[in-house]
Every structure is written in structure tokens, then in C-alpha cells.
A = this chain, B = another copy of it.
């Protein structure tokens, strides 16, 4: 990749992150191009679809979900607290951008989605948490990580779309946790 190309690529991602945070994931891509000081052609060459651009943006905080799982596992305490703590981190992270939860959660079931790789990272992070709970004998039979991702993703989606604050979301996550644990 030529130096000027990389410069533009990085700048577009940076500007897109900002614009999407301001206006949501359906903001105008021409606006992103304009603010980044490039033509629309340049933007669309680097990112043929909106999804591709979102994918690039998400990379950084998918990594943080991975860390959050480790952090949750490092803590002492009863399984329910651990699970809830992880749920809250997860929701907070995928809600960093308006529309993010819906995007991530629906991509989980779409093998063709460009952000699929991100979902895989989220799933393996979730699996580490579930494995630990299983080892503790705290988890009900037959619980799959996909189910958990859908449940928590659903709560996050609702919270995002309704602008709910963490205190309102907490009891919802508690219901999910109680439904999952023995």
C-alpha cells in the first residue's frame, strides 16, 4: 500500500469513528469523505460498503471485549457477580456507538457479514467465561455461547435504541443471568 493511500485510509477511519459517534451508523458517507478531505471515490475504493468501514472502526473495541473477559475471570467472587460484571462490560463496549449492538448482534447470525471475524472474537471471549462457570457447576445444562450472545445482545440493542441508563439495564441483565445459572 502506497504511503498516501495508507494516510487516507487511516484518516477516513478516524473521521468515520467521530461522525458515526455523532450521527449514528447511517450517517452520510459523502460527509465522512468530505470531512476527511478526500473524494467519495477514495472512500469507496478503500471501503466498498458501509459495513467494511464499520468493520475497521470496530476492531479496537473488539479487542477490549477480549480483555474484559480475562479481567472478569481474574476476579474473586460468586459466579453470578462474575457473570453480571462481564455482561455489563460487554454491553458498555458494544454500545460505544449508536446502533452498534444491533449491528454486532445481527451479524452473529450472518455468515456473510464482513464483521463476522469480530463476532468470532466476541464468541471465544464469551466461551472462556462460560467454560469457567461450567467448571464451577454454576451453569445450567445445554447453554450455548450463541444463546448468551443473543440474549445479552438483545438487551444491549433495546438499551441502545431506548437510551436506557446502566441502572435500568442492570435488572434486565440480572434476569438473564438468573435464567442461565442453576
Contacts and interface: CB of A to CB of B under 8 A. Distances in A.
Interface of A: 102, 105-106, 108-110, 142-143, 147, 150-151, 153-155, 157-158, 161-164, 171-172, 174-180
B162 A147 contact: no
Contacts of A106: 158, 161-162
Secondary structure of the A contact surface, majority rule: helix
A174 to B, nearest CB: 7
A147 B102 CA distance: 19
A80 to B, nearest CB: 11
Contacts of A163: 109
Nearest to A176: B179
